C-alpha cells in the first residue's frame, strides 16, 4: 500500500517538472517579443538603461509565466527526487529553442535539431531509471540527515571551495575564466536545492496540522535559501555579462546539475535503493541531455550549408535536394563569401601600389 502514494508522488513531481520547463521556456519568448516590440517603437531599450518594458503587457506575461514555472519547479521538489527534477530543467532550453524558431524567426540549424532530439531522449531515459523512493518525509528526518557526518564533510568542503573561489580566484581570474563564476553558482545552487526540499517538507507538515512554525530548522532553511539564491543570481549575472550566453548556459547546466545530483546522493541518499541498471540508465540519460544542450548552444550561430561540405559531396545532382533540406538560401557561409567585387579589388590594389610609389619617392 505504501508503494502507491510514493509512485503517485513521483508522477505528480514529474508532471510539475515538465510543466515548469514549458512555462519557463515560453517565458523567454514572451519577454523577447515584448522587448522587440519596444525596440521597434523607438523607446529606450533595456540594454541602454530604459524601463519602458514595464509598460509592455507581453513582458509582464513572460514574467508571470516564469514565476508560475518557478512555483511549479518548487512544488516538483516536494513530490519527486532532485535527481529527476533538476536534469529535466534542460527541457526549458529545448522549449525555448523550438519556440524561438517559430515565433522569433531564429533559425534552428541541424545541430540544434539534433540537440533537441537528444535532450528528449535523455530526459525519457532519466524518467524511466530515476529513483522513485523519497527517503525524507518529515522535518525531524531532515534534521537527522543534516547531522550526518558524510554530509557535514561534504558541506564544509563545498563552502571552503566556494569561499576560495569568491575571495581568491574571483578577483584574479573571474574576468578571464568562465569556470570561476559558474562554479560559484553551481556549488551554492546545490545547497539551495536542498533547502527547497527541506522547505517543501515543512510546507507539507504545515498543511498536515503539525506545529512546524515553532521549529527553528524551517526558518534556518528559509534564510539559507534566500542567501544561496542571492549569491547564485549575483555571480550568474556576472558570468552572463562577461561571457557569451551560448558558452555560459551549457557549462552552467552541466556543473550545476552535477553538483545537485552529488549533494542529493549524499544528503537524501536517493541512489541507495537503485539497482545497477537504473544507475547506469540515469547517468547515461544525464550525459545524453548534457550533449544535447551542448549541441543546441555551442553551434547555434554556425550555419550548416552545402558549401561547408567537402567537394566530393557537392555534386550537381545532389545539390538541389541538399539545398532545400538545409535551407541554404537563408544563410551563406562566411568562409565562402565574396568579400570584394572585382572592381573593389582593383581599386584596393591600385591604392596599395600608389602608396608604395609615394613611399619610394
* pLDDT number for residue 343: 53
**Residue 35 to residues 30, 61, 98, 185, Cα–Cα distance (Å):** 9, 12, 19, 27
* pLDDT number for residue 322: 43
* pLDDT number for residue 325: 40
* pLDDT number for residue 28: 73
pLDDT per position in the chain (361 positions), as tens? 455 556 777 788 888 888 988 888 888 777 777 767 766 665 544 444 455 556 667 778 877 887 888 788 888 877 877 777 877 877 777 787 777 777 777 667 777 778 888 888 888 888 788 765 556 778 888 888 888 898 999 999 999 999 999 999 988 888 888 889 889 988 998 888 888 888 888 888 888 888 878 888 889 999 998 999 888 878 877 776 677 666 676 777 788 888 888 888 888 777 777 788 888 888 888 888 888 878 877 666 666 655 665 665 555 444 444 444 444 444 443 333 444 445 555 554 566 566 556 655 5
Q: Would you say 221 and 192 are in contact if contact means Cβ atoms under 8 Å apart?
A: no
| Percent composition of the chain: helix, strand, coil (DSSP 3-state, to 5) | 80, 0, 20
* pLDDT number for residue 48: 46
Neighbouring CB atoms inside 10 A of 151's CB total: 17
In DSSP notation, 203-263 reads: HHHHHTT--GGG-HHHHHHHHHHHHHHHHHHHHHHHHHHHS-HHHHHHHHHHHHHHHHHHH
CA distance 327 to 72: 38
| Domain spans of the chain, in order of start | 8-132, 134-269
Give which of 247, 239, 283 is closest to 265, Cα–Cα.
283
Amino acid at each position: 500500500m505504501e508503494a502507491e502514494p510514493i509512485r503517485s508522488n513521483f508522477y505528480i513531481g514529474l508532471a510539475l517538472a515538465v510543466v515548469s520547463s514549458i512555462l519557463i521556456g515560453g517565458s523567454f519568448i514572451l519577454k523577447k517579443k515584448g522587448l522587440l516590440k519596444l525596440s521597434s517603437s523607438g523607446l529606450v531599450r533595456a540594454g541602454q538603461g530604459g524601463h519602458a518594458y514595464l509598460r509592455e503587457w507581453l513582458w509582464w506575461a513572460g514574467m508571470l509565466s516564469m514565476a508560475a514555472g518557478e512555483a511549479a519547479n518548487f512544488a516538483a521538489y516536494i513530490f519527486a527526487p532532485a535527481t529527476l527534477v533538476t536534469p529535466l530543467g534542460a527541457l526549458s532550453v529545448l522549449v525555448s529553442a523550438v519556440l524561438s524558431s517559430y515565433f522569433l524567426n531564429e533559425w534552428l540549424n541541424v545541430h540544434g535539431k539534433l540537440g533537441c532530439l537528444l535532450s528528449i531522449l535523455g530526459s525519457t531515459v532519466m524518467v524511466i531509471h530515476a529513483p522513485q523512493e523519497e527517503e525524507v518525509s518529515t522535518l525531524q528526518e531532515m534534521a537527522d540527515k543534516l547531522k550526518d557526518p558524510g554530509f557535514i564533510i561534504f558541506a564544509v568542503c563545498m563552502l571552503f571551495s566556494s569561499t576560495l573561489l569568491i575571495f581568491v580566484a574571483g578577483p584574479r581570474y573571474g574576468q578571464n575564466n568562465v569556470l570561476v563564476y559558474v562554479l560559484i553558482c553551481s556549488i551554492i545552487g546545490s545547497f539551495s536545492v536542498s533547502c527547497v526540499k527541506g522547505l517543501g517538507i515543512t510546507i507539507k507538515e504545515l498543511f498536515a496540522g503539525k506545529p512546524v512554525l515553532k521549529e527553528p530548522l524551517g526558518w534556518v532553511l528559509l534564510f539559507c535559501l534566500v542567501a544561496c539564491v542571492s549569491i547564485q543570481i549575483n555571480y550568474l549575472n556576472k558570468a552572463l555579462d562577461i561571457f557569451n550566453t551560448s558558452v555560459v548556459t551549457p557549462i552552467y547546466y552541466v556543473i550545476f546539475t552535477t553538483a545537485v545530483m552529488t549533494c542529493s546522493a549524499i544528503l537524501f541518499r536517493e541512489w541507495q535503493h537503485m539497482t545497477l541498471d537504473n544507475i547506469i540508465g540515469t547517468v547515461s540519460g544525464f550525459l545524453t541531455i548534457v550533449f544535447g544542450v551542448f549541441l543546441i548552444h555551442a553551434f547555434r550561430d554556425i550555419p550548416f550549408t552545402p558549401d561547408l561540405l567537402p567537394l566530393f559531396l557537392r555534386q550537381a545532382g545532389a545539390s538541389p535536394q541538399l539545398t532545400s533540406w538545409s535551407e541554404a538560401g537563408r544563410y551563406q557561409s562566411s568562409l565562402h563569401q565574396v568579400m570584394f567585387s572585382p572592381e573593389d579589388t582593383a581599386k584596393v590594389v591600385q591604392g596599395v601600389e600608389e602608396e608604395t610609389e609615394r613611399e619610394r619617392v
